[in-house]
Amino acid sequence: MGGMKQEIAGFLRYLEVERGVSPNTLAAYRNDLAQMEEYLEERLRKDGQVPAWSRVGREFLQQYILELRARAYSEATRARKIAAARSFFRFLLQEGKRQENPAESLSSPRVGRPLPRVISVAEARRLLEQAAQSAGPEGLRDWAMLELLYASGMRVSELVSLDLEDVNPQEGYVRCLGKGSQERVIPIHPKACGTLEDYLREGRAQLQPSLGEKALFLNRRGQRLTRQGFWQILKEHAKKAGLGRVTPHTLRHSFATHLLSGGADLRSVQELLGHRHISTTQVYTHLTREQVHEVYDRTHPRAR
């Protein structure tokens, strides 16, 4: 597999494992990025350059957009393909393979943006209560992981990257390294601290950590749990709890939405999530406004 195609394959694995995108969405990304790669590889060769994503600048992407328009794609399709390009280059930036995102400022047709899916507070409680019933060291680990993820809003990549020294349940905080190597310290509530202490006291040692293994969460071989491993664990517990599709990012979205619904200010939620721009966090205000309208319509005597 060529270099440019290899980077796309890595991005698709990230979408499947960490973001938990549906098979249909994954197929759309695969097709859109393959089309972009084919066009850009040809353009780079015509310019006498060895094809590589590091050589793709904004001007090449603008030419690609013009090509999409010339092929008479609909506005919605063009917007989707541009969004795929932005996400892909953002991934390369996150992985340290680009210094900037040449697709970030590309103009895109205005179409409705789907809001992230969240689960209710009751559903989150049901998921955690189900995990609490799991037996053995793996059960303690699963419960601690889910409690910690919902308590902190961390990305799954941040969760599985945690080392023993990164958590302090006695003081009630976790330290994680986010995008762009930015460290943030997140407070965690007593319930999550308690489950974490139970796992550290009774569960982790029974998973027989490999010699010198510093990872907080271990698989059954005593090594660091992977994103794929966590994704499978979450799917299993969500199914047992009678919930629909729940991804690691669903818990992150739910964490943010539930905080805002409870009165947290937007800037604090931005800090907790590790968003660089507050505009990224603002999508959750739309979710809470929808909930307010739903409650109003259901409870106001003149609205019924």
Coil/strand/helix, residue 125: helix
Domain count, the chain: 2
Residue with the larger pLDDT of the pair 154 and 287: 154
Same domain, 45 and 171: no
Average pLDDT over residues 100-115: 66
Instruction: Map tokens 């019924």 to a residue.
Output: 304
Percent of residues, the chain, with pLDDT higher than 70: 88
Beta-carbon count within 10 A of 125 CB: 13
The confidence score (pLDDT) of residue 79 equals 84
Q: Which of 51, 75, 94 is the endpoint of a domain?
A: 94
pLDDT digits (tens, 9 = 90+) for 40-81: 888 888 888 888 888 888 888 888 888 888 888 887 888 888
Residue 300 lies in a domain: no
Are 39 and 146 in the same domain? Answer: no
> CA–CA separation, 45 vs 40, rounded Å?
9
For residues 159 and 49, membership in a common domain is answered with: no
What are the catalytic residues?
Answer: 155, 179, 249, 252, 275, 284
What's the CATH code of the domain at 44? Answer: 1.10.150.130
Q: The whole model's pTM is what?
A: 0.61
Q: Which range marks the domain in which residue 287 is found?
A: 121-293
Query: Cβ neighbours of residue 300 under 8 Å, at least 6 residues apart?
Result: none
pLDDT of 129 strictly over 90:
yes
Which range is least confidently modeled, 90-94, 136-140, 147-151, 294-298? 294-298
In sequence order, the 6+-apart residues with CB closer than 8 A to the CB of 93 are 99, 100, 101
> Which is more confidently placed, 55 or 181?
55
Round to the nearest angstrom and report the end-to-end CA distance of the chain.
Answer: 60
Looking at the domain assignment, is residue 104 inside a domain?
no
In a domain, 13, yes or no: yes
Banded pLDDT at 109 (limits 50, 70, 90): low
Residue 67: exposure state from Cβ atoms within 10 A (0-12, 13-18, ≥19): middle
pLDDT of 115 strictly over 90: no
Report the distance separating Cα 223 and Cα 92, nearest Å.
27
- Please name the residue that has the structure tokens 């559903």: 123
The answer to whether residues 155 and 63 belong to one domain is no
Given 94, 113, 145, the domain boundary residue is 94
Residue 284 pLDDT > 80, yes or no?
no
Asked whether residue 143 is assigned to any structural domain, the reply reads yes
- Number of Cβ within 10 Å of residue 49's Cβ equals 12
Are residues 233 and 142 in contact, defined by beta-carbon separation less than 8 angstroms? yes
- In this structure, the answer to whether residues 153 and 267 fall within a common structural domain is yes
Write the CB contacts of 7 (distance below 8 Å, at least 6 apart in sequence).
Answer: 53, 92, 97
CATH code of the domain containing 232: 1.10.443.10
3-state SS of the chain: helix, strand, coil percent to 5?
A: 65, 5, 30
81-91: per-residue pLDDT in tens?
888 888 898 88
Task: Please compute the mean of the pLDDT values over residues 121-137 and round it to a whole number.
Answer: 92
Read off the pLDDT of each residue in 126-139 and give the average, rounded to a whole number.
92
The pLDDT of 179-188, averaged and rounded, is 82
- Does residue 158 sit within a domain? yes
- Flag whether pLDDT at 165 surpasses 90: yes
Is the pLDDT at 1 greater than 50? The verdict is: no
- pLDDT above 80: residue 27: yes
User: Residue 217, SS3?
Assistant: coil
Question: Is residue 114 included in any domain, yes or no?
Answer: no
Whether residue 111 lies inside any domain: the answer is: no
Question: Do 54 and 133 sit in the same domain of this protein?
Answer: no
Asked if residue 279 has pLDDT above 90, the reply is no
Of the candidates 18, 111, 79, the residue with the CA atom closest to the CA atom of residue 26: 18
CA dist., res. 265 & res. 204, Å (int): 36
pLDDT value of position 71: 82
Across 166-190, average pLDDT: 86
- In this structure, the answer to whether residues 225 and 150 fall within a common structural domain is yes
CA 246 to chain centre: 12
pLDDT at 278 over 70: yes
In a domain, 103, yes or no: no
Whether residues 131 and 277 fall in one domain: yes
Residues 178, 277: one domain? yes
Angle, alpha carbons 117-120-123 (nearest 5°): 110
Half-sphere exposure of 90 (CA within 13 A, CB side): 12
